A and B are shown apart, each in its own frame.
Chain A
Amino acid sequence: MNSTKPLSLPRYRWPGGVRTGVWFLLVALLCLPFADLDVSSLDPWREIGRMLQGVISPQLMDPVLVTEALLATLAFAFAGVALAVICGFLLALMFHNLLVRAICALIRSIHELFWALIFLQFFGLHPLTGLLAIAVPYCGIFARMYAEIFDQVATQPEKALPVGSGFFSALLYTRLPQAWPHLVSYTSYRLECGIRSSAILGFVGLPTLGYYLESSFSQGYYSEVAGLMILFYLLIATKKLWLRRWTLPLFLLGSPFFMGSGMPIIWGNVGRFFSQDIIPAPLRSGDASLHSLVDWAGTIVMDQALPGVWNTLLLSQIALVVTGLFALLFFPLINRYCFDTVGRIPGHIFLVVARSTPEYLLAYILLQLLGPSMLPAVIALAIHNGALIGYLTGRNSNEIRLRPDAPERRTDRYFYELLPRSYPAFLSFMLYRWEVIMRETAILGILGIQTIGFFVDSAIQEIRFDVALLLILIAAMMNILVDLLARRIQLHP
C-alpha cells in the first residue's frame, strides 16, 4: 500500500519575526508620503555652529541654583519612584483582578508630563505636583512589571510549604526571594528613567534641571546648556558610585526637603477641578442635553483628536522603524565579536549619552536647528530609543557563542551570525518600546509638532480642561491599543 511520495521541494517560509519586521517597514514606508519631513530652517548651520561653540565652552550658571536644581531633580525622582514602588507592589499582588489591571493600564498610558499638566491645574507649582506626576504613571508600570516577574518565578517552592500557610508566608518565603533580584534590577532601571522624567518636569515649571535647561536654551545661552547637560550625564553615568544600599535611605529621607516650597495648596481648587473644570462645557451650561454633548464631542474629535491621532500614528510608526534601524546599527558598537575592550569604549560612551538624553529634550534641540516639522521628532525618538535598544541588544548579543565556522570578516560576522541570532531579542525589545514611542510622540506635540499633545497643550492654554482631558484620554486609549497589539504580535509573530 505504500506508494512513493511525489518529491516536492520544501517551500521556504520566512521566520515570523522577519515577516513582522517587514510589515512594520512597509507601514512606515506608506506613512512617509503623508509626513511632513522638511528642513524648514534656512540656515541651520549658523545655529549649529553657535551650539557647538557652547559645547566646547561649557559654563556653569549660578552654582547654588544648579545644585538646588540637581537636588530637586533627584528628590522628585526618588520620592516619586519610591511611592510608585510601594503602590505598584501592592497592586501587583492584586493584578489578577481585571479592574486593577485596567486602572494600571490607564494610569501608565498617560505620560508623566500630561499628569503634571493635570496636577498643575489644582495643586499649582507645589512639590506634590511633581511627586504625583512621576508616582502615578510609574505605579501602573511597576504593578505590571512586578506582576510579570512574579508570574515567572517557579511555583514548586510554594507547593512545598506546609498545608495552611497563608498568602503572606507564601509571598515572603517563596515568591519574593526568587523574584527579588529581578525586582531590584528593574526598579533600579526605572529609577534612572525617573531621574530623566524628573528633569523633564522642569519644562512645565517645576524647579528641576529642565527648568533651567529650557530657560537657557530658549535664550540661546548654549554654554550654560552644555554645562547643565554635562552635569546631568555625569549624574547618570556615576549612578553606580553614589547609589548604594547605604545611601538609598539617605536619598529617600532627604528627598522631601529638596523639592522646593512652591506655592501653597488650596484644597478648594481640587474640588473645583473635579466638579467643574473637567465637566464637558455643554453639561456645565444651562442647556444640558445629549444632543449638545454629542455636538461638543463631535467637534473636538473632528477638529482636534483626528488630526492629532493621525499625526501621532504617522510619526510614531516612522520613528519606530528608524529606531529599529539605528538600534541594529548601534548594537555592534558594544559587541565583543566586533570590537575589543578598548574599541568598545567610544560605543559605550555614545550609547550612554544618547540614551540618557530624554527624547523630549533632543526634539527640543533639533527643532531649533532644523525648523518645525516631524523630522526633528523622528530623529530625536530614534536616537534615544535606538541607543537604548541598541544597548540592550548589544548586551544580549555578547552572550551569543559563535559557531566554530563563523565568518572571520567583521561585516560577514555581523550579517550572517550576529544579526540573525540577535534579531528575536531585538524584535521583542522593539515591541515593548512601541507603546513608549507612541506615548512620547504624543507628548512631543507640546513642542509644536501637531501630534495629539499639541491639541492638549492648546486646550490647556485656552483654559479648556474638559477638552484637554478628553484628548488625554483619547491618547491613553491609543497607547493601550498599541500595547495590546504589541503583546499579540509578541505571542504570535
Chain B
Amino acid sequence: MLRILIRGLFLMLLAGAVNAAPVFVFTAIPDQDETQLKQRFQKVADYLQQELKTEVRFIPVKSYAASITAFRNNQVQLAWFGGLSGVQARELVPGSRAVAQGVEDPEFKSFFIANTSTGISPSDHLPESLRGLTFTFGSKGSTSGRLMPEYNLREQFGIGPDELFSRVGFSGNHSRTIALVESGAYQVGALNYKVWETAVAEGKVDTSKVQVIWETPTYPDYQWSVRGDLDAVYGDGFTARLEKALLEMNDPELLNSFPRSGFIPASNDDFEPVRKVARQVGLLD
C-alpha cells in the first residue's frame, strides 16, 4: 500500500511538473456570482489566447486572499484585482505592475443600501439613524464592499463599525449583500455600484424592499495586474503584447460582461489613495 501511495504522490508531482510548461494562467477576485464570473473570464481567456498565441487558462478561486496568494506564488501571472487586493498583491510581488483598468475604475464608488423597513431615505450624507442597526460588508478583502465603506463610516461617525452597528457581518460578495439586505437578514449594507446597477437593470432586485441611501465619494478600484517576470518565461515582448491586448479589448459583449465601457492604461501610483486608506483603516501594515 505504501508503494501505491508513493507512486501516486510521484505521479501527482510529475503531473505538476508537466503543467509547468508555460501555460498562461490568470485569475480574478470572486466579487460576485460565480456563474457570471466564469462566463466573463472564459471569454477573456479565449480572447487572450487568440491575441497572445499561447494557451491561456482562467482559474476561479473562492476568496480574495486565494487570488492574491496565487499571484504571489506565481501560480497565476495575471489577475483582475480590486483596488485593495491589487495593492496587497503588488506589495508582495516585487516588480509587478498595474497595467490596465476599466474606463470607470479611476472614479469608482460604493453604494450604501438599506432595507425599506428601516425607513431611511436617500440623502447626500450618511444619516445618524444608522446607529444601532445591523450592517453587512461584502468580502473582508473588498475595496468597494469593505475598505471604502468602512473608511467613510469612520470618517463620518468617528468610531469603528463594530461600535456603530449592533451587528456587523461579511456577506462574501456583492450579489449576496443585495440578497441579504433585501431579505432583511441585515438592515443596511454597502457594495460595488456597478453590481447594483447591473442587478437592477436585469430586474434581479426588488426595489420596493431595498434601495440606495447614499453613495461614497469616488476612488480608484479594479485593475489588471501582471507579475514582473513574464518576459523571462513567455518570451521577450510578451508583457507588452499582453498590455496591448488588454487595452484593446473592445468587443461590446466582452466589455458588457464586466461591465466596463473600455480599458485604459493604469500604473501602480494610481492606487496610492487606496493604500493610504488601507493603512488608516488598519488593513495594511
Contacts and interface: CB of A to CB of B under 8 A. Distances in A.
Nearest to A210: B62
Contact of B167 (A214, A252, A372): A372
B5 A82 contact: yes
A462 B87 CA distance: 12
Contacts of A464: 285
A461 B140 contact: yes
A36 B61 CA distance: 32
B140 A128 contact: no
Interface string A443-464: 0000010000000011011111
Contacts of A128: 9, 12
Interface in B81-138: 88, 92, 115, 117, 134
B64 interface: yes
A220 B62 contact: no
B215 to A, nearest CB: 25
Contacts of B5: 79, 82-83, 86, 252
A330 interface: no
A43 B1 CA distance: 54
A253 interface: yes
User: Which range holds the interface residue count of chain A?
Assistant: 35 or more
Given A265-B13, A463-B92, A46 B183 contact: yes
A47 interface: yes
Interface in B160-218: 167, 169-170, 172-173, 175-176, 179, 183-186
Interface in A44-95: 46-47, 79, 82-83, 86
Interface residues of B, number: 57
Contacts of B270: none
A458 B73 contact: no
B183 A266 contact: no
A234 B73 CA distance: 38
B63 A215 contact: no
Contacts of A427: none
Contacts, number: 136
Interface string B2-24: 10110111011101110110000
A464 B285 CA distance: 9
Contact of B66 (A86, A120, A214): A120
Contacts of B172: 218
A256 B65 contact: no
Contact of B12 (A43, A127, A457): A127
Nearest to B13: A265
Given A43-B184, A219-B35, A214 B13 contact: no
A263 B62 contact: no
Contacts of A372: 167, 169, 185-186
Contacts of A120: 66, 69
A262 B73 CA distance: 13
A461 B92 CA distance: 14
B12 A259 contact: yes
B175 to A, nearest CB: 7
A46 B209 CA distance: 13
B185 A263 contact: no
B283 interface: yes
A354 to B, nearest CB: 25
Given A79-B8, A463-B88, A264 B19 contact: yes
A86 B2 CA distance: 8
A255 interface: yes
Contact of B169 (A121, A253, A255, A448): A448
A205 B62 contact: yes
A205 B66 contact: yes
Contact of A121 (B69, B117, B179, B184): B69
Contacts of A169: none
Contacts of A252: 1, 4-5
Contact of A263 (B75, B176, B179): B75
B59 interface: yes
Contact of B64 (A42, A121, A256, A461): A461
A122 interface: yes
A306 interface: no
B145 interface: no
A220 to B, nearest CB: 7
Contact of A214 (B62, B75, B92, B179): B62
Interface centre among B92, B170, B176 (most CB of A within 10 A): B170
Given A252-B4, A461-B140, A122 B117 contact: no
A72 to B, nearest CB: 13
A218 B59 contact: no
A121 B71 CA distance: 11
A263 B25 contact: yes
Contacts of B62: 203-205, 211, 214
A205 B117 CA distance: 37
B34 interface: yes
A126 interface: yes
B262 interface: no
A235 interface: no
Contacts of A266: 73-75
Contacts of A320: none
A292 interface: no
A42 B185 contact: yes
B68 interface: yes
Given A82-B5, A215-B34, A256 B88 contact: no
Nearest to A285: B285
A39 to B, nearest CB: 10
A264 B17 contact: yes
A188 interface: no
Given A86-B1, A124-B73, A126-B16, A219 B33 contact: yes
A41 interface: yes
B220 interface: no
A195 interface: no
Contacts of A36: 167
Contacts of A314: none
A127 B16 CA distance: 9
Contacts of B143: none
Nearest to B7: A256
Given A205-B66, A264-B20, A372-B169, 18 more contacts: A41-B184, A42-B184, A124-B75, A204-B62, A215-B34, A218-B33, A220-B179, A252-B5, A262-B16, A263-B59, A263-B70, A263-B73, A266-B74, A461-B141, A462-B283, A462-B284, A463-B69, A463-B92
7 contacts: A79-B8, A120-B66, A218-B175, A253-B4, A264-B16, A266-B73, A461-B141
The 8 lowest CB-CB distance pairs between A and B, nearest first, are A42-B184, A256-B8, A263-B75, A205-B62, A461-B140, A371-B185, A264-B20, A124-B75
